């Protein structure tokens, strides 16, 4: 099956994250100086500006911080998915992650709802971390 949606553009900051996704490991960064856990990946810690970084594997669990239901496709390839949920999930480790909520009816999505990662392999090179309700 052909994947027609835009693919992630990998750079030096995000390479480790996307390599982790390919193996279904949700890798996020932890500052080597102040311990702040962050996402999206960045070269320096937004809290203390240190460049000392370690990658950790997040548990893949969190809760819905905010969400919206998209009824308009902003790219033609998303037309077939309408309507779908775009959400900000707060990971147990702290960072927020922009993602989709899958595996439930749209009407069931609520803020603070417990969710866990649901990997979607979109090509041989990429898997996307989406989230589904914890049953």
CB 128: neighbour CB atoms within 10 A?
19
Residue 31 in the binding site for Zn ion (CB under 5 A) = yes
**Cα pseudo-dihedral 26, 14, 30, 131, rounded to 10:** -30
Residue 36 in the binding site for Zn ion (CB under 5 A) = yes
Number of residues lying near Zn ion (CB under 5 A): 8
| 43-80 exposure pattern, b = at least 16 Cβ within 10 A, e = fewer | eebeeeeeeebeeeebebbbbbeebeeeeeeeeeeeee
Nearer to Zn ion by Cβ, of 23 and 50: the residue is 50
Beta-bridge partners for 87: 67, 99
Among the candidate windows 8-16, 50-58, 67-75, 77-85, which touches Zn ion by CB under 5 A? 50-58
- Structural Rg of the chain based on CA atoms: 15
Residue 45 in the binding site for Zn ion (CB under 5 A) = yes
Among the candidate windows 16-24, 30-38, 58-66, 83-91, which touches Zn ion by CB under 5 A? 30-38
**Shortest gap between Cβ of 53 and Zn ion (angstroms)?**
9
Residue 111 to residue 106: CA distance in whole angstroms:
12
Among 4, 23, 42, 50, indicate the residue that binds Zn ion (CB under 5 A).
Answer: 50
**Shortest gap between Cβ of 44 and Zn ion (angstroms)?**
8
Residue 34 in the binding site for Zn ion (CB under 5 A) = yes
Residue 47 in the binding site for Zn ion (CB under 5 A) = yes
By the criterion CB under 5 A, which residues form the site for Zn ion? 31, 33-34, 36, 45, 47-48, 50
């Amino acid at each position: 099956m052909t994947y027609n949606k835009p693919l992630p553009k990998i750079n030096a900051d995000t390479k480790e994250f996307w390599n982790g996704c390919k193996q279904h490991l949700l890798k996020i960064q932890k500052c080597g100086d102040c311990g702040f856990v962050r996402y999206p990946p960045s070269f320096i810690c937004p809290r203390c500006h240190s460049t000392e970084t370690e990658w950790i594997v997040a548990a893949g669990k969190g809760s819905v911080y905010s969400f919206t239901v998209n009824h308009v496709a902003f790219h033609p390839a998303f037309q077939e998915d309408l309507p779908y949920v775009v959400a900000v999930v707060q990971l147990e480790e702290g960072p927020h992650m922009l993602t989709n909520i899958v595996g439930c009816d749209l009407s069931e999505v609520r803020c603070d709802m417990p969710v866990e990662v649901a990997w979607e392999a979109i090509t041989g090179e990429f898997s996307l971390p989406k989230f589904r309700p914890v049953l």
